[in-house]
Amino acid sequence: MQAGKAAESRDAGRPLQVTMKRGYEVLRDPHLNKDMAFTLEERQQLNIHGLLPPCFLGQDAQVYSILKNFERLTSDLDRYILLMSLQDRNEKLFYKVLTSDIERFMPIVYTPTVGLACQQYGLAFRRPRGLFITIHDRGHIATMLKSWPENIIKAIVVTDGERILGLGDLGCYGMGIPVGKLALYTACGGVKPHECLPVMLDVGTDNEALLKDPLYIGLRHKRIRGQAYDDLLDEFMEAVTSRYGMNCLIQFEDFANANAFRLLHKYRNKYCTFNDDIQGTASVAVAGLLAALRITKNRLSDHTVLFQGAGEAALGIANLIVMAMEKEGISKDAAIKRIWMVDSKGLIVKGRASLTSEKQRFAHEHGEMKNLEDIVRDIKPSVLIGVAAIGGAFTKQILQDMAALNKRPIIFALSNPTSKAECTAEQCYKYTEGRGIFASGSPFDPVTLPSGQTLYPGQGNNSYVFPGVALGVISCGLKHIGEDVFLTTAEVIAQQVSEENLQEGRLYPPLVTIQHVSLKIAVRIAEEAYRNNTASTYPQPKDLEAFIRSQVYSTNYTSFVADSYTWPEEAMKVKL
């Protein structure tokens, strides 16, 4: 054997991984465990020979085994538990399974099944994932971060569990959201899972049912608010950036409206942070609108937009629509006048009591109205967007009126989970006589029209946005994430929709292409960051796409065979 010949050649060219762990420690570490895919040589060198059955399975055979078990189960919650258990046992295999059919598995590990899993998180709880920080840990968060075994963390998803999807306050049960979100960072964007950290900030819950639930895993008292809450958040942000650096991406997830905007405005220019409910939802919605313009054959500023809902999602979308309209050449004031909103008290108009500053921006001169059907007839929108989590809010009459007012009405039922959707795809197509341009937050089955044409409803899932944004931000070391990042992301997503996709009713690229879409988003974000001198990863890579591809996580197993080689015989002679 030649001197310096690497072990790589003896193990099918797989990258070599070195670990000091031996025996059961290897099998119980999901980052390292390959189950029965360990070779005999690996088993002997890692002291696990005899701890596994005398069988050697390739990764494809393991995927097949998981799929057979998956198909055997009858409930989505059981399937969720199966996949999360796999993630706890064998991380590479978990992501290999997810990426083998992302369209099939995404609804299980994220919306809509993750909502059910959060509601029953105490029952589904098997092994802790992530970091649980409570209001009683103030003054000690830096110490708690040292408990996390990884020293390099590049992305954190944090929640306080107060507004989980459309389900409300789920307290500590909301941890399922950061866990699921970060799984998609990896499956869709290729962000390395060991560089991700899910965090739950437990300040209590106002959900009486949870406080009485014997399986509830969080603090059993009412939510603590005010200065103590703000101090906890400030300390958390400072502790994270002190340990992991100012470039550590911190994504806020499922905070209540009262805190979401406030915290975004407070931290956005100080830390590398964004709020997916506000900015991610806005980006994916605007991407759908930009794609829809290729069907309506006009500009975004030609449309009148009506929102059912005026929370963080609605306001985030509205603000990004204003930005997109400005880019078309109209003034900010003119763009704002094209947007109307309806909240729980009716149409948002000037002079109405108790409007937040965010809502006041979209309040126009108009009489007060409460009924959505009447409002649609009066405002005559060409775009109707539902983000209030009121299932069935888009009635038959409203859909018929939208069809009467517009040749191609744009109707987005974006609320999650499926039970909260404002209308189904079938209802939209049926009551608009197949003319409706539809997108939803949760997946719907294809719909066949009386004409025989089959339409595939577009799912405006935030997973088109946050994985690519995260990959781009991490790769170029972006220190602050401006609104322009999300408009750029929307434009990239819309550009990936083919004419064939549009003819099929899709406003988004097929989910099977999501890794490709995420890479395109990351490259564009990095290009603009270097152009605007906001990147911090230097020197600038000559080939940005190749550089970002090199950062992407591989789901293929690595080799643990020791890197052994020989020296020249003369050099190895024993000297007496």
Average pLDDT over every residue of 292-316 = 96
Name which of 154, 157, 115 is nearest 274 in CA terms: 157
> Quick one: pLDDT at residue 443?
84
Q: For residue 284, is it left (φ>0), alpha (ψ between -120 and 50) or beta?
A: alpha
Average pLDDT over every residue of 331-354 = 96
Cα–Cα distances (Å) from 413 to 276, 392, 422, 439, in that order, read 18, 9, 5, 6
> Quick one: pLDDT at residue 50?
97
Does residue 12 have a pLDDT over 60? no
| Helices (runs of H) and strands (runs of E) counted in the chain | 26, 14
Does residue 278 have a pLDDT over 70? yes
Pick from 124-133, 297-306, 426-435: least confident:
124-133
Match 């309506």 to its residue by tokens.
296
Q: Report the relative pairing of strands 155-159 and 131-134 from DSSP bridges.
A: unpaired
Match 């990147």 to its residue by tokens.
535
Most confident of 5-14, 331-340, 409-418: 331-340
> Quick one: pLDDT at residue 407?
97
> Quick one: pLDDT at residue 13?
59
> Quick one: pLDDT at residue 11?
52
> Quick one: pLDDT at residue 576?
75
- In this prediction, residue 419 has a pLDDT band, given cuts at 50, 70 and 90, of confident
Helix (H) or strand (E) holding 115: helix 113-119
DSSP bridge partners of 273:
250
List, for residues 29-40, the tens digit of each pLDDT value.
999 999 999 999
- In this prediction, residue 2 has a pLDDT band, given cuts at 50, 70 and 90, of very low
Average pLDDT over every residue of 400-421 = 94
Q: Long-range contacts of range 1-9, CB-CB < 8 Å, 24 or more positions apart?
A: 1/565, 1/566, 2/566, 3/565, 3/566, 3/567, 3/568, 4/565, 5/565, 5/566, 6/563, 6/565, 7/559, 7/561, 7/562, 7/563, 7/564, 7/565, 8/559, 8/563
The span from the CA of 189 to the CA of 34, in Å, is 23
**Alpha-helix runs per DSSP H in 165-300:** 176-189, 208-211, 227-244, 257-267, 281-296
Q: Using an 8 Å Cβ cutoff, are 437 and 410 in contact?
A: yes
CA 457, 461, 465, 467 dihedral sign is negative
> Quick one: pLDDT at residue 165?
80
List, for residues 205-257, the tens digit of each pLDDT value.
999 999 999 989 999 999 999 999 999 999 999 999 999 999 999 999 999 98
What is the average pLDDT value for the chain, to the nearest integer? 94
- In this prediction, residue 7 has a pLDDT band, given cuts at 50, 70 and 90, of very low
Positions annotated as catalytic residues are 110, 181
Average pLDDT over every residue of 263-277 = 96
Q: What angle do CA 287, 446, 412 make, to 5 degrees?
A: 35
Match 């399937």 to its residue by tokens.
79
Three-state secondary structure call for residue 162: coil
> Quick one: pLDDT at residue 506?
95
Average pLDDT over every residue of 399-413 = 98
> Quick one: pLDDT at residue 200?
98
CA 517, 518, 524, 527 dihedral sign is negative
- In this prediction, residue 476 has a pLDDT band, given cuts at 50, 70 and 90, of very high
Does residue 67 have a pLDDT over 80? yes
Q: Does the global pTM surpass 0.85?
A: yes
List, for residues 510-567, the tens digit of each pLDDT value.
999 999 999 999 999 999 999 999 999 999 999 999 999 999 999 999 999 988 889 9
Count how many Cα atoms sit within 13 Å of the Cα of residue 123 in the half-sphere of its side chain: 10
Tokens representing 318 are 């509205």
Average pLDDT over every residue of 416-439 = 94
Does residue 14 have a pLDDT over 80? no
Does residue 471 have a pLDDT over 70? yes
Orientation of helix 312-327 relative to helix 257-267, angle to 10°: 50
In sequence order, what E strands does 356-446 have? 383-386, 410-413, 437-440
The span from the CA of 162 to the CA of 303, in Å, is 34
- In this prediction, residue 10 has a pLDDT band, given cuts at 50, 70 and 90, of very low
Buried b (16+ CB within 10 A) or exposed e, 175-187: bbbbbbbbbbbbb
Express as a percent the part of the chain with pLDDT over 90: 87
How many residues are present in the chain? 576
Which residue did the predictor score with more confidence, 121 or 327?
Answer: 327
